[in-house]
Amino acid sequence: MPTLETLLIFAALSLGLAATPGPNMLYLVSRSLAQGVGAGMISLIGCQCGSLLIMLCAAAGITAALFAIPYAWDVLRIGGAAYLAYLAWECLRPGGQPIFAARSMPREPASRLLGVGFATAALNPKVAIFYVAVLPPFIDPALGDVFLQSITLGAVQIVIAIIFDGLLIYGAAGVSRFLSENPIWMAAQRWILGGALALIAIKLATESRA
């Protein structure tokens, strides 16, 4: 089993992952603003099921094997960077909508909320890259079963994500209301988020295979 120090450090990194804007956050906030907290929580369950699938694949070595295939890393890396760049453009373009802006979206049944949430997380390159690049250094074969250590660390990441995203869902309406009543903050939020997404996209696009 991982040591307490390892778990705490990995939990801090997991919090950083959860706080970084990405497809999961955009979908959860959008759905919460459009359809309410209940829909946001159902979507969150779907997202975390997708993350659980990636975590199990990483723990079993499947994701690592994918990255061993020629060009597979580059396809995922460049595709993820392109998607993040698109999200950044959506924030920064004239008339662009910030992540906490109210959106007119059709009401969806629970089954579709779960399905879309699952697909959003399962196809999220940020989560896959986190497990492939960040998780392995925290595994020490001397401390016991490697698969069990991977599952334990993965569970820490998922619990952190559930707590952070759950609070985000409950606070989305209040944050949106505050920003709508304060245009300066609304504009600042757009530029800060758009700039962060652009920087993440650039970093991902220039990331070396090593």
Q: What is the pLDDT of residue 62?
A: 55
Residues written for the chain = 210
- Whether 21 and 94 have beta carbons less than 8 Å apart is answered as no
Q: What is the pLDDT of residue 102?
A: 54
Q: What is the pLDDT of residue 44?
A: 94
Query: Sign of the CA dihedral 10, 27, 90, 127?
Result: positive
Q: Report angle CA 101, 102, 105 to the nearest 5 degrees.
A: 130
DSSP 123: T
Q: What is the pLDDT of residue 105?
A: 63
Q: What is the pLDDT along the chain (210 residues), one digit of tens a residue?
A: 778 888 888 888 888 778 776 778 888 888 887 788 888 899 999 999 999 988 888 878 755 655 566 666 666 667 667 766 776 776 677 665 555 555 556 677 888 899 988 988 888 777 877 787 777 777 777 787 778 888 899 999 999 999 999 988 888 767 666 666 666 766 676 677 677 767 767 776 776 554
Q: What is the pLDDT of residue 64?
A: 61
DSSP line for 31-45: HHHHH-HHHHHHHHH
| Alpha-helix residue ranges (DSSP H) falling in 62-210 | 62-68, 72-92, 110-122, 125-133, 146-181, 183-205
The whole-angstrom separation of Cα 42 and Cα 79 is 27
- pTM for the model stands at 0.68
Q: What is the pLDDT of residue 187?
A: 67
